[in-house]
Amino acid sequence: MYNAILRLRALRSYADRPVSPTHVDQLVEAARWTGSSKNLQNWSFILVDDPQQQEALSAAGDFTDPVRAAPLTIALVQEPDGYEFDTGRVAQNIMLAAAALGLASCPITLHRDEVAAEVLGLPEGRRCRYAVAVGYPAESAAPRAFGGRKPVEELLHRNRYGG
Ligand SMILES: Cc1cc2nc3c(=O)[nH]c(=O)nc-3n(C[C@H](O)[C@H](O)[C@H](O)COP(=O)(O)O)c2cc1C
């Protein structure tokens, strides 16, 4: 588990085959069991696997090539009173579950969430600003070369900022 966390990378190239129904169910289960503030679970998930819908959804963000490339995109809907922090936790759980099942995934920002809302047919009060693209990794799938991390000295403080 610990190594899976350290190894998790955004992957943006996918094999040309659908995600199996069992794997889809397992991803949804991982999302559903995510902890949320006060256990309110103010979220819902839209499985987007229709190519026309994927194309339309991809227009809602600036870096959405993975949505076009992947056989499945899971749109994360913030229901009324939902928190973005909870959405982030769902996204990470979906990605970790995907990796455990041999799937590649990439978080997606839908910068124009009003476009996403229109495409997805969201009722009033719901918002979708994030999604996760998922698929079996293409043979060529590899993390981006510039995906390193800041050294710990740059980001860790003790007791107070700068300490
Ligand atoms: C909140 C969030 C939004 C992201 N949105 C996008 C996106 O719209 N398109 C994309 O290709 N990658 C997106 N990413 C992936 C990041 O670019 C990626 O995680 C980062 O470059 C580090 O690479 P790594 O996860 O492979 O280590 C997003 C990541 C996060 C955490």
Q: Tell me the pLDDT tens digit for each residue of 35-81.
A: 999 999 999 999 999 999 999 999 999 999 999 999 999 999 999 99
> Is the CB of 141 inside a 6 Å radius of any atom of ligand 1?
no
Q: Which residues contact 8 (CB under 8 A, 6 or more apart)?
A: 95, 96, 99
Kindly give the parts of the chain with pLDDT less than 50: none
Token code pair at residue 6: 């350290």
Which pLDDT score is estimated for 145? 76
pLDDT at 104: 98
Distance CA 92, CA 17 (A): 23
Quote the ligand 1 centre to 10 CA distance (angstroms): 6
Q: What is the pLDDT of residue 134?
A: 98
**Spacing, Cα 134 to ligand 1 middle (Å):** 13
Residue nearest to atom 6 of ligand 1 (CA): 108
59: Cα separation from own chain's centroid: 17
d(CA 150, CA 122): 38
Q: Tell me, what's the pLDDT at 54?
A: 98
- CATH architecture of the region 18-138: 3-Layer(aba) Sandwich (3.40)
> 43 has which bridge partners?
78
Q: What is the pLDDT of residue 144?
A: 83
| The pLDDT value given to residue 63 | 98
- Check pocket membership of 109 for ligand 1, CB cut-off 6 A: yes
- Residue 141 gets which letter from DSSP? -
Q: Are strands 127-135 and 104-109 parallel, antiparallel or unpaired?
A: antiparallel
Q: How is the chain split into domains, by residue range?
A: 18-138
9 CA distance to ligand 1 middle (Å): 9
